[in-house]
Every structure is written in C-alpha cells, then in structure tokens.
Amino acid sequence: MMRACGLLTARKEPVPLKSIEVELEVRDHVATVVSTLNYENKEDKPLEAVFIFPLPGDAAVCHFSAEIGQTQIVAKVKEKQKAREEYDDALSSGQQAFLLEESDQSPDIFSLSVGSLPPGESASIRLEYVTELAVQADDGLRFCLPAVLNPRYQPQGAGVQVTSVPASLVPYSLSFSARVSSPRPISKVESNCSLDPLQYLNTDQTQATVKLAAGHKFDRDVELLIYYKDAHQPTAVVEAGQASAEPGCLMGDSVVMVSLYPEFPQSVMSSLASCGEFVFLMDRSRSMSNTRNSSARDTLLLLLKSLPMGCYFNIYSFGSRYEHIFPKSVEYSQQTMEEALKTVEQMEANLGGTEILQPLKHIYSQPCIPSQPRQLFVFTDGEVGNTKEVIDLVKKNSDSHRCFSFGIGEGASSALINGMAKEGGGHAQFITGTDRMQAKAMQSLRFALQPVVVDISVTWDLPKEVSVTVLSPPITALFQGQRSLIYAQLTGQSSEAAEGCVTLKYSLAGHPSENQLHFSLRPAEDTGLTVHKLGAQTLIRSLEEGEDRGWQDTKVKEKVVQLSVQSGISSSLTAFIAVFNNNGEAIQGPLLHKNISKHACNYKPRNKSDSKTGVFTQMKKILSDFWKSCKTVADGALKSVSEGNARSAVPEQQTRDPLLQLVSLQEATGKWLLDPALPTALGKTNEEVEKSKPVLANKDIWATILALIWLHGLKMDSKNEWDLLAMKAASWLRAQNAPWVTECVEAANLLLGCSVTKEALGL
C-alpha cells in the first residue's frame, strides 16, 4: 500500500501533521479561506520537502506565511523565475526559504517547496485565498474545501506523475468554522459532512456561523451549500480602494462587483429546441470506479431517451485511447438509439489513463451539421495533468459548439470542469458524495435545449466624475437561473449619495430583453479587499487566457506580473517567495492547506553543494522516484480489486431501479409499447394491466399514459430526471389526436392508485 505523505523524514516517515485549522468567511457570493497547518520535524536532520496540492480552480491566493518557533516569515509575490532563483540562492547560503507557485499545467494545482525544516523544529503554515461561489441548480451557493488530490494522469512525455494516498492513514485534527453574511436572510446551510447546528448572529438572520461536527476525518472534500432567501435578486457591492496604494491603480480605486440574474419568460423556456448535434464524451479511465461507471451508463440511458426526434448524436468514450459508437454523428431514431444503448450497456472503466485531449481533437475535426447546433457533454473525474491545453482547445472551437462539463467524484479538477464550460459557453456541474449524476446531466440537457441567448451587452450609467474600467471578460452565455458576476474599476470621486446603474441587454428567441440594477456608489465597510482581489484575479486570468496566452506580447506578460505583484495575487507568471536568514539554518514553510492527506510530496536532506541544481529538477526526481516505488504496489492493488469486482458482479437486471427499467422501455418517438416488461416495471401483473385497459383504447396510447401516470403519481421526487422524456411522450400523445385519452387517464389512476390530471400530463 502507498505510504502516507506529508512532510517526510529520511526514513520516509511522516513529519507529524499535528493539526489543520480552516476559517471560512462568506460574504454573499464570495468567500475568503484561511488555512493553518501545523507540523513538527522529529528527524535528526533538516529536511527539504515538495508538496503538491489542489485549490479551487478560480481561487486567488493572496497571502502566504510561515512561523518557525518565534519567527514569522511573510511571503511576497515576485516574477516566477526570479522567485525560483532567489529560493535556490537562499538555500545554498544556509537561509530558510519557502516557495509557493501555481502549476504550469493546471491553475488549480499548487506546489510548495520548503527549505530546510531544522531537527526538532515546528512549523506553522498559513495560506489565504479568495474565491467566487458557484450557483447550483437549486439556487444554493457551493463552497468546496479540497481534501483529495487524485493522481493527475500525465499524457506521454508531460512530466512527473502525481500520486495519491489514503487520507485516513494520516492522523491529525481538523478544525473548520464558517461565518456567513449577506444582504438577504440565510435560510439554511447544508454539507456532505456532519455539521453543528447553524447559529444566527442577528434577528434578521443575515449573519450566521457553522462548524464541522467533532470527529470529522478529512478523508473527502468538505462541501458546504449555502441558501439565501430571494436568491435571484441582483446585487452590487462597491469596495473602497487601499489607502496605501498608488492613486489610479486597481488597488487604489474603488471596485464594484455586480451579480446579475436574468429572468427569462416561462413561455419561451418551455419551448425546447427540436434539433441539435449532441456529442457525449464519457470517461472510462481506471479511476472511474464501478459505481461511477454504472451511474454513467444510467445517465447516458436517460440522455438518449430524452433527445428530440430529428436531432443528431454520437457517443465517445476515452481512457489511454478513445472509442466512438458511430464514425460520425447519426440521426436520432429508434434504430440508432437501440444500437447506441447496446454499446453503452457494455461500457466498463477499462481504458487505462485519462487522455481527454485526443478525443476532443477528433470531435472538433468533424464538420458541423447545418442547422444542428453542436452540444458537447463531457463527463470526467478530472484527473488530468494538461488542464490548460484542454481548455485552450475548447476555447479555440468555442464558435462551433457549447460545452457542458461534469466533474465526477472527489478530487475532480475544478479548473478543468469550470474552464471547459466557461470557454465553451456552457454550464459546469460537480457530482460528489451521494449526488445523482442523472439529475445534473438532465438539467444541463435542458439548458442545451433552451433557446440560445444572443446579442449580450452590459452598459454602465455613472456620474460624470466617475469613469469605469470593466475587469471581467464579456458575458458569452446566459442560462435560466445562472448568475453572472461582473467586476469593474471605478475611477474618480463621487458624492456619498451618488448612484450608478448597470444594464444587461440580450435577445432570446427573437425577443429583446433588458435587466437593470441601480446601486449606491458608497463603499461597503470592512470588506478586506476581497472584491479587489477577485477583480484582479479576473483580469489576470483574462490576460493569461488571451490569444496564445499573449506570451508573445511582452507587454501582456509585464502587465500580468505587475498586476499580480501589485495586488498580492498569485498567477501563472509569479510565485510567493519567503526568505529568512537564521545563521545558516533553513526552515520549511509552505505546506499548504487542507489537502494534506493526499498531497504528492517527498523530502530530500539538503546539502549546500547540490542546491544549484534547482529545486524543480529535484522535485521531478523526487516525485518520479516516489511514483516508481508505489507503482508496482498500486498496480497490484488495482488488479486485485478489478478481479474481485469481476467475481462479485451480479446481473444488472436483478437490482435495476424501476424508474430506469421503465425508461429503458420507452421508444425514441416518446411512446411506450404494451410490452410484457412494462407491467413488471410498474409493479403490476400483465393481467391487471390488460384488464384495466379501456376496451376500445389503442394499446400504445394506453401503455404511454400508464407510464406517464406512474411517473407523475409515484416518482415526482425524481422529476428532474424524467421530465424531458415525459414531455416527449406527451407530445407524441397530442400528435395522435386519439380518442379515449380521458378514459385511459382515469383507468390508469385507478390501477396505480394515483390522482394525476390530464393537465398535469400536458394533455
């Protein structure tokens, strides 16, 4: 079994991680996270260690410091290569040093190089970052504290493998507390972990605190879902600039964060598209467990049954190689649907690694079908090392499709999942814990079938003495119930009573719409510069993600470095560096935050003579050696698990969910046949179903109404999973213009013990 990682001794034993303390401060839609890690080196030699750990993909690291004994070292942001050289020079001259930097391959992976932690010494590492909170389908705001870094699959020649170990093997304590405040009342806070009761701090319930219940083992992500009343109300927060900052610069001016929730007419949203090319790309790498893979097959069943007649589709799957069911997308029909489902039923997580780039290239190389907008659905556990390359490819092809992405399980890369959806003008979903993949996939399919919002524009109306510089990139996609955050720098002075106005305009199904928000220009108090930091992060990411990342343009590169240093926010071109001279002894600083148990890391006793080889050369060798030492054991364990699963497998039909059993019987047109398997799915006998049918009623009409009554009467808790295919069935029924529909509805209600009306069925 892989050994636990942390800060490792010369005997490859962990330097005890005594505790992790995490404090979360949520202000409306954004969060500030402060993590403190406490370590102790019980080895008799100083150590150098490298830590690899995840953060949310859109997080802006804004503070890093280390405390050794009575000495505190606060890191500063510097250009990355200079920081690396300063780190090596410091260690070669016997100084304590810490280096924290973003991975070149993925913006949600950071590495921390710790100089020498002296024997018997303790180290306390403090990391602070700010991040936006994503809106979920039920209007909850999602915060995730990553505890897991799964192995990131590295395409051939991409460099070092990052390994993982079971978090449960590392004993330590975790303290996690959250404080939530909002202009709107807080209705509830939920979690995938046990929480102490929510404590309100005022009578209007706009401020509250919550803590993890005692005894939590940090063996999975900690996910919080925060719910406000009137969640769709647009808001604006104006934050005053930093008094010590240079006038006219981003940190010196006020910055506004506007949250917009456009409301779409229900009449338009109910008219779903009946065309499109739907391409489903499913992860079948080894890391997709039997449970995930089974859920993926069920999800594809629901998606295929819910597609509109007349559209086109194809299914790709990938691991170290990729496969596709059809050479090119085919028209959706009963025959093509059945052919696809036969292949889906045989899908296993047996394709090796996670080479997502090649199937994406193949999909994009296929010519688009006229009048059939391409909609790409990507399902993956997100364990890839070339995140930026994948996102760049999606962005390059953004004009020809929309991309809907799904992160499956603990450790899915938020940078990959959010980045693909953002650049592809789609929507991102995360499926963790007991979440059902089917429900979230169907919600995204509904988004894909909605009319496309076009001609999106944002305009500002401000007092004459105030000018605006928008920091956010243009809004490229809008969906029902989706929030857009816009950051803008406000230059100039205005009276305390002054107001600003921002107007969002767009066109939906040929109808122009307009949303306005009026807001006070008076800055909010005590915001900790969170809005400034997120605004700076937004602008930095926009510059980094420009054409060819803009690195041919040295001015763009200089601007990123300048913004990063000025705002104290990490970027792909900068790093946090801390150096302290302690009479020749070095210390170790940044073991970061909550991913402790599943960092990939290692140690190396440091000799002055070898320091000039560079910490990153050492890091590659360290991690490579560690990976090789674990690989044989890991491969053996995987083989053993695989064989065990094969032996214990049971026929799927024996335990199949009745809902999925019923869905599997639906025809591509939307109707059900009076098949012998139908009564079984409904929990009835063939005799009962035949006897209850109105004598003159058509068998297909009767079977379809039976299925719809069962869904509406007994499965409303799963409505978001079957809603689209039920709409398709109702549409088929209306097209038949058949008699005896009322009698069939009454008879079906009587048979199934329900009381569903024709109107509820859409008839």
Q: Where are the domains of the chain?
A: 7-231+568-632, 272-449, 657-752
- Note the pLDDT of residue 429: 85
Contact 408, 421 (CB under 8 A): no
- Tell me the C-alpha distance between 289 and 269, whole Å: 36
Gap between the Cα atoms of 449 and 372, Å rounded? 11
What pLDDT, on the 0 to 100 scale, is given for residue 431?
82
Strand order in the sheet with 141-145: 134-135, 141-145, 222-228, 186-191
Is there a contact between 281 and 363 (Cβ–Cβ < 8 Å)? yes
Q: Going by C-beta distance under 8 Å and a sequence separation of 6 or more, which residues neighbour residue 687?
A: none
Q: Pick from 130, 102, 151: which is nearest to 27 by CA?
A: 130
Q: What angle do CA 388, 166, 418 make, to 5 degrees?
A: 25
- Please name the CATH architecture into which domain 272-449 falls: 3-Layer(aba) Sandwich (3.40)
594-629: burial string, b at 16+ Cβ within 10 Å, e else: bbbbbbbbbbbebeeeebeeebbebbeebbeebbee
Q: How far is CA 688 from the centre of its chain?
A: 47
- Which one-letter DSSP state was computed for residue 368? P
CA dihedral sign, ordered 662, 664, 670, 675: negative
Same fold, 7-231+568-632 and 272-449: no
Residues 561 and 571: their CA atoms lie apart, in Å, by: 8
Q: How many CB atoms lie within 10 A of CB 716?
A: 10
pLDDT at 23: 92
- Per DSSP, the chain holds a count of helices (H) and strands (E) of 17, 34
Shortest CA distance to 318 belongs to which of 361, 374, 373, 368?
A: 361
Give the pLDDT confidence score for residue 726 in this predicted structure: 92
Separation between Cα atoms, residue 198 and residue 208, nearest integer Å: 7
Residue ranges, the chain, pLDDT below 70: 1-18, 41-43, 46-53, 114-117, 137, 147-173, 216-220, 269-271, 383, 385, 410-411, 433-434, 481, 525-527, 546-553, 581-656
Q: Give the C-alpha separation, 536 to 487, whole Å.
A: 9
Distance of CA 135 to the CA centre of its chain: 11
Other residues' Cβ atoms within 10 Å of the Cβ of residue 750: 12
Please give the angle made by the CA atoms of 562, 568 and 572, to the nearest 5 degrees.
65
CB-neighbour burial class of residue 480 (10 A; exposed 0-12, middle 13-18, buried 19+):
middle
Strands 484-491 and 134-135: unpaired
222 close to 56: Cβ distance less than 8 angstroms: no
| pLDDT on residue 262 | 76
Tokens representing 171 are 């004993």
Determine the Cα–Cα distance for residues 286 and 351; give it in Å rounded to an integer. Answer: 7
Residue 381's nearest CA partner among 299, 300, 301, 282 is 282
What pLDDT score was predicted for residue 626?
38
Cβ-contact 117, 14 below 8 angstroms: no
The Cα 187–Cα 184 span in angstroms is 9
Q: 247, exposed or middle or buried, with CB in 10 Å at 0-12, 13-18, 19+?
A: exposed
Count of CA atoms in the C-beta half-sphere (13 A) of 207: 4
In 149-188, which positions are buried (b, 16+ CB within 10 angstroms) versus exposed (e)?
A: bbbbbbbeeeebbbbbbebeebebebebebbbebebbbee
Minimal CA–CA distance to 414: which of 226, 223, 248? 223
Q: What pLDDT, on the 0 to 100 scale, is given for residue 10?
A: 43
pTM of the model: 0.73
Q: Decide: 319 and 287 in contact? Cβ < 8 Å.
A: no
Give the per-residue pLDDT at 650.
Answer: 34
- Measured CA to CA, the distance from residue 445 to residue 278 in angstroms comes to 9
Q: What is the pLDDT of residue 171?
A: 52
Instruction: Please list the residues that pair with 403 across neighbouring strands.
Output: 376
Q: Which of 3.10.290, 1.10.287, 2.30.29, 2.60.40 would CATH assign to domain 7-231+568-632? A: 2.60.40
Strands 453-461 and 499-508, by their bridges, are: antiparallel
Both structure tokens of 573: 């071109």
Amino acid at 432: T
pLDDT computed for residue 92 by the predictor = 82
